[in-house]
């Protein structure tokens, strides 16, 4: 069986609640990894993993402990690149699936925007997480989960 891993420090509350519903309904293990306790009311197949406050400790834990059959939810593009190099599937909280084909472009764009922000040339932007974004994430997650479940059935 596969598990859902969440880089939970920056994961929006609405996405975390949705992940708990998916996990409970399909009986899929759900791991939140963060450097602090993250609320997880109602989660049945759940484990909270609290890492140190060292920068990147949650990312390192996920990379070291998630298996190639698992799914990882993260906003962190450098973490997604590390996961891809290990053969893991990851998606962000907007439903974008990170792949070998798109991770280079996403990293370059992230680095450019970070440079512009650090030079004061661009304001930090956060897009609103509305119904459309929630549906897009839920649909992408459902497609990936169904694909994983089919892979499990064909292994027997």
User: Phi then psi for 43, rounded to 5 degrees?
Assistant: -75, 130
User: Coil, strand or helix: which one is 112?
Assistant: helix
| Pairwise CA distance, residues 109 & 131, whole Å | 26
> Is the pLDDT confidence value at 156 over 60?
no
Supply the pTM of this predicted model: 0.88
Q: pLDDT tens for residues 29-40?
A: 999 999 999 999
Residue 108's pLDDT is: 80
Segments making up each domain of the chain, as ranges = 4-154
Q: Taking a C-beta distance cutoff of 8 angstroms, is the pair 2, 70 a contact?
A: yes
pLDDT by residue (tens digit) across 117-141?
778 777 666 678 899 999 999 999 9
Q: What was the pLDDT predicted at 124?
A: 64
Nearest to 1 by CA among 26, 32, 34: 26
How many other CB atoms are there within 10 angstroms of residue 136's CB atom?
Answer: 15
**Domain 4-154 annotated CATH 1.25.40:** no
- Residue 50 — pLDDT band, cuts 50, 70, 90? very high
Mean pLDDT of the chain: 92
Residues 24, 22: Cα–Cα separation, whole Å: 6
Name the DSSP class of 100. T
- The CB density around residue 120, as the number of other CB atoms within 10 Å, is 7
């Amino acid at each position: 069986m596969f598990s859902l891993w969440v880089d939970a420090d920056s994961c929006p509350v609405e996405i975390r609640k949705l992940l708990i519903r998916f996990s409970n309904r399909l009986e899929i293990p759900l791991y939140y990894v963060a450097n602090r306790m993250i609320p997880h009311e109602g989660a049945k197949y759940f484990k909270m993993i609290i890492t140190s406050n060292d920068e990147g400790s949650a990312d390192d834990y996920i990379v070291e402990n998630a298996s190639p059959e698992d799914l990882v939810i993260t906003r962190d593009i450098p973490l997604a690149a590390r996961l891809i190099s290990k053969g893991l599937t990851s998606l962000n909280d907007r439903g974008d699936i990170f792949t070998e084909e798109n991770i280079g472009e996403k990293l370059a764009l992230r680095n450019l925007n970070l440079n512009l922000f650090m030079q004061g040339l661009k304001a930090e932007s956060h897009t609103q997480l509305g119904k459309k974004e929630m549906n897009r994430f839920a649909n992408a997650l459902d497609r990936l989960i169904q694909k994983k479940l089919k892979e499990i059935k064909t292994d027997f």
